[in-house]
A and B are shown apart, each in its own frame.
Chain A
Amino acid sequence: MAETRALVIAPDEASADALLGLVPAELPTELVVLDVAADDLTPATRGLPADRIVAVPQLPATSDAEVAGPFLRERVASAQLVVLDSSQAGRDLAGWLAVTLDLPLVWAIDALRQVDGHLQADRVVLGGTYRLVHEIDPGTPSLVLGKPTQPASAQDRPRSAPAEVVEETGEAGVSRVRVLESPDGEIEGVPLAAARTVLSVGRGIGGPDNVDLFRQIAARAGAALGASRVAVDSGWVSFAHQVGQTGTAVAPDLYVAFGISGAIQHLAGMRGSGSIIAVNTDPEAPMCRLAEIVVNADAIEVAEGLLKRLANR
């Protein structure tokens, strides 16, 4: 039987670490990282447990599927397990590849393992109370949209040799979507994927004017700023900050939720966190049931006190 080869397609280096953490350690693995030149890869990325790392500077992380797809299709066609991230661009690329290469697709996968030569993929359902186990036919290449919970760098993975690092350019597709106006500047702060500390805000922080307080705390604590969908849909913070089923999946050592109720779709993106602290005026909120510590107080009062403490450190 042909050896199972895994291919991980990551939109950035943090996601590369996170997604690689899903791949069964024994599989030979090629890692493609978009939007970065080989020379700019961090030592941490170079040290990840992959056999080969392919840097693709020409493709931005949010490339349209019809741009990234043609570039990646050969590589995808020759792998047996293809792991992509669950961002919108990742889902779009997966949908394009599924139809173009006629491949099955499984999604919201938080664990992959090999059992007697079969690949099994777990999807958490019903708010984390059950896992649905998929079995993928041997020899059938398949696409996996990952919801990683433990980055490769946080696992103790044996490595035989350092990864071979290459940079590739090639034939990408042309997008038929014309960009007329794009936001200026980068998303500020620590990226969510693979952040070790995440500080998230929800409806309970009251409004857009209060977001800055939390940005300042996050900056001082070296934490990434996360948000619930309510905070995103209300326009308080941009979609890049959304944690959850539709947003980014995170599994930091510490997750602090300010004024977030803990809807199933939010928990889907953070339930794998090491410690959870909920700051909520309602100690009965679902988030408080998951938390190790509940701060039963007003989110803004807590944030103001905390920022003062951090500033006087």
Chain B
Amino acid sequence: MDTTTPASGTTIAVAVKHVPVGGAFLRVQSGGLTRDGVSHGIDPLNEVAVEWALQAREAGAADRVVAISLGPPAAVDALRRALAMGADEAVLVTDPTFAGADVRATARALAAATERSGARLLVAGYESLDGSSGAVPAAVAASLGWPLVSRFSAGAIHGGALRATRDLGAGPTTIEVDLPAVVSIVEGHVTPRFPKLKDVVRTRSVQPTTYSGADLGLSLPTSGERVVDLVEVAQPPREPTILDLEAGIEELFARLTQGASRG
């Protein structure tokens, strides 16, 4: 291990989102989409991010892990999960004017909170469970002016730099980046620990440090776009033809060779 830069003093922030879990992400209610009445919790991918940060701390590469969330007051649940897993502190950015915050606003708020935390590394998920843009980590990196490493699966901090494996579609690539940096993690390599019951109980009533938009000096941009309609898509009832092994092979053969002769 590289010891040129002491690890002490390095804080890792983890962006955790409180999302609808358990299958139903949204509900239709009086012609609009709502998250009310859908059960919520920490995004499981963000537990992977927390786990990676905790392991970095346990390996001595950092000495503090701060979980940060932007959301309604109920998002404290996601933060408490991170605390129960072992995060040292929790920060909630909550403000009624941030309801429906777009990518820019979300990113600026997370960036401001990350800066306040003193972190030199922000770990996010590559995409939220509730089908969001997957653009927030890059937008946070741009807000902070920090480099971005997206879709990393494994990596370690050595002497002020992160060395990691990522895949942007061209295959696994080993990269290195000096901190400060923003990174987004994928599932598959790090398995989140299950918090102990006593830690769940201990953190059940912990109040996170809370900021409003004004506390962070943020004002919302005019969004420029809005949802005007929710349209039900007619689902034509389909009665598939069921084939057995032999018939299936013949059908596939016919379809695939038909395509080949055409083009």
Separation of A87 and B224 alpha carbons in the complex (Å): 24
Tally the A-B contacts, defined by beta carbons under 8 Å: 282
- Determine the chain B residues whose CB is within 8 A of the CB of A302 once the complex forms: 245, 248-249, 252
Known contacts A91-B134, A223-B256; is-contact A296 B244 (Cβ 8 Å):
yes
Question: Which residue of B168, B225, B233, B253 contacts A136 across the interface (Cβ within 8 Å)?
Answer: B225
Within A280-313, the residues touching B (CB, 8 Å) are: 283, 288-298, 301-302, 305-306, 309-310, 313
B138 touches A295 (CB 8 A): no
Interface assignment of A66: CB less than 8 Å from any CB of chain B = yes
Shortest CB distance A99–B (Å):
4
Contact indicator A292/B188 (Cβ below 8 Å):
no
B74 CB within 8 Å of chain A:
no
Give the complex CA separation of A254 and B263 in angstroms. Answer: 13
Closest to A135 in B: B228
- In whole angstroms, how far apart are the Cα atoms of A91 and B128 in the complex? 13
Q: Out of B134, B170, B231, which one reaches A62, CB within 8 Å?
A: B170
B116 at the interface (CB under 8 A from A): no
* Mask: chain B, 129-154; 1 = CB below 8 Å from A; 0 = not: 00111111111111100011111000
Q: Is A161 engaged at the interface, CB distance under 8 Å to the other chain?
A: no
Q: Is B33 an interface residue, CB under 8 A from the partner? A: yes
Can you name the residue of chain A whose Cβ is closest to the Cβ of B153? Answer: A233
Interface check B3, CB cutoff 8 A: no
Which A residues touch B245, using CB under 8 A?
A: 295, 297-298, 301-302, 305
Q: Assess the B175–A178 pair: CB atoms within 8 A.
A: yes
> Hey, which chain A residues are within 8 Å of B199, CB to CB?
none
A256 / chain B contacts, CB cutoff of 8 Å: 252, 255-256
Instruction: Given the known inter-chain contacts A125-B26, A131-B233, A178-B176, please indicate yes or no for A310 contacting B226, CB distance below 8 A.
Output: no
At the interface, yes or no: A227 with Cβ under 8 Å from chain B? no
Give chain A residues whose Cβ lies under 8 Å from the Cβ of B174. Answer: 179-182
Return A183 CB to nearest CB of chain B, in Å.
3
Q: Is the CB of B224 within 8 A of A66?
A: no
Interface of B is mostly: mixed
Chain A: interface size category: 35 or more
Of the listed stretches A25-33, A47-55, A102-110, name the one at the interface; the rest are far from the partner chain.
Answer: A102-110
CA distance A120 to B226 in the complex (A): 10
9-residue interface stretch from A16-24, A164-172, A238-246: A238-246
Of the residues A87, A134, A196, contact of B259 by C-beta under 8 Å: A196
Tell me the minimal C-beta distance from B74 to chain A in angstroms.
22
Q: Assess the A294–B243 pair: CB atoms within 8 A.
A: yes
Total B residues in contact with A, Cβ cutoff 8 Å: 80
Name the one of A86, A134, A180, A310 contacting B225, with C-beta atoms under 8 angstroms.
A134
Q: Does A277 contact B (CB under 8 A)?
A: yes
Cα(A125)–Cα(B230), bound, Å: 9
In the bound complex, residues from chain B placing their C-beta under 8 Å from that of A235 are: 188
A160 at interface by CB-CB < 8 Å = no
Q: Quick one: which of B215-231 are within 8 Å of A by CB?
A: 221, 223-231
Question: In whole Å, how far is A221's beta carbon from the nearest beta carbon of chain B?
Answer: 4
Establish whether residues B103 and A95, one from each chain, have CB atoms under 8 Å apart when the complex forms. yes
Query: Would A130 and B230 count as touching, CB distance under 8 A?
Result: yes
- A residues with a Cβ closer than 8 A to B are 61-62, 64-66, 69, 86-89, 91-96, 98-100, 102-108, 120-121, 124-126, 128-137, 140, 142, 145, 175-183, 187, 196-197, 217, 220-223, 233-235, 238-240, 245-246, 253-254, 256, 265, 268, 275, 277-279, 283, 288-298, 301-302, 305-306, 309-310, 313
A-B contact pairs, 20 of them (CB 8 A): A88-B168, A93-B138, A98-B103, A98-B142, A99-B107, A103-B224, A130-B230, A130-B231, A133-B229, A133-B231, A182-B170, A187-B171, A223-B256, A234-B188, A235-B188, A253-B259, A279-B252, A293-B243, A305-B245, A305-B249
10 further interface pairs, Cβ-Cβ under 8 Å (given A177-B176, A196-B263)? A89-B169, A91-B133, A91-B150, A104-B223, A124-B233, A131-B231, A133-B227, A177-B148, A239-B167, A302-B245
